């Protein structure tokens, strides 16, 4: 069996399969925020995000993702879209949480949902937003993330965008990864209410001109 690395993975349009693994990869990109939203109920997060991955639209849909495939299995994902889709696609996730959430989640959401958006500045009209980039744990540090990111640049240019924007927790080692690949820190946002109650760190808006 070939090792899982940038040379052995093949990029292709993501499909509505391996939904639980896709949800776990998404969780790894920003578990602080997901733990806050879901009140650390990982099983409910996994159930809802797996469902969202399989849908044909929405900010968590496979339709907006490129998959890194290794030996026929999912080895990483890069999910993003041009700014016009940004606000349009985000409403689906909250609606599904309301439909599929447990009574405990529905009671918890109003206490934090209003604070989460403050972590994420607006996305300019000419930008492409990278929502999630994540490699399988067995393939991290093997160039898979960089390969997916280079493909994001291609997708952004083809969409006529002039820059890529993303948000990442200030405590996430991925900050250094993005800096190495040409991203700059534009702003850092802290929301004390959820930092104190749920340990959500400040988030950095990072930008790379194309």
CB atoms within 10 A of CB 210: 15
Q: Has residue 156 been placed in a domain?
A: yes
The CA distance from 57 to 89, in Å, is 7
Token pair 């639980």 in the structure block, residue = 20
Global confidence as pTM? 0.95
Best CA proximity match to 207, nearest among 161, 151, 142: 161
Residue 189: domain span: 10-209
57 or 35, greater pLDDT: 35
Q: Has residue 46 been placed in a domain?
A: yes
Number of domains comprising the chain? 1
Q: Has residue 3 been placed in a domain?
A: no
Q: Specify the CATH number for the domain of residue 40.
A: 3.40.630.30
Q: Has residue 5 been placed in a domain?
A: no
Tell me the torsion sign for CA atoms 10, 158, 141, 49: negative
Q: Each residue of 56-113: pLDDT tens digit?
A: 988 999 999 999 999 999 999 999 999 877 766 766 667 788 889 899 999 999 999 9
The CA distance from 68 to 2, in Å, is 15
Nearest 5 degrees, angle CA 4-CA 9-CA 13? 140
**Confidence label for 208 from pLDDT (cuts 50, 70 and 90):** very high
- Rounded mean pLDDT, 145-169: 97
Q: Has residue 125 been placed in a domain?
A: yes
- Rounded mean pLDDT, 10-38: 97
DSSP character for 183? Answer: -
Q: Has residue 4 been placed in a domain?
A: no
């Amino acid at each position: 069996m070939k090792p899982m690395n940038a040379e052995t993975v093949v990029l292709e349009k993501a499909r509505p399969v391996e939904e639980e693994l896709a949800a776990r990869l998404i969780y790894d990109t920003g578990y602080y925020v997901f733990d806050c939203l879901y009140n650390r109920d990982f099983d409910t997060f996994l159930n809802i995000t797996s469902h969202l991955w399989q849908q044909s639209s929405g900010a968590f849909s496979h339709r907006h993702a490129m998959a890194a495939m290794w030996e026929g299995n999912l080895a990483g994902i890069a999910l993003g879209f041009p700014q016009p889709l940004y606000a349009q696609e985000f409403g689906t996730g909250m609606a599904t949480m309301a439909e599929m959430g447990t009574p405990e989640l529905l009671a918890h959401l109003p206490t934090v949902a209003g604070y989460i958006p403050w972590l994420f500045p607006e996305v300019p009209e000419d930008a492409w937003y990278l929502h999630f980039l994540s490699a399988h744990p067995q393939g991290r540090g093997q160039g898979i993330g960089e390969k997916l990111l280079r493909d994001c640049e291609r997708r952004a240019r083809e969409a006529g965008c002039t820059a890529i924007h993303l948000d990442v927790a200030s405590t996430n080692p991925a900050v250094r990864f993005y800096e190495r690949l040409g991203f700059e820190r534009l702003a850092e946002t802290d929301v004390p209410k959820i930092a104190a109650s749920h340990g959500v760190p400040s988030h950095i808006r990072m930008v790379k001109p194309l």
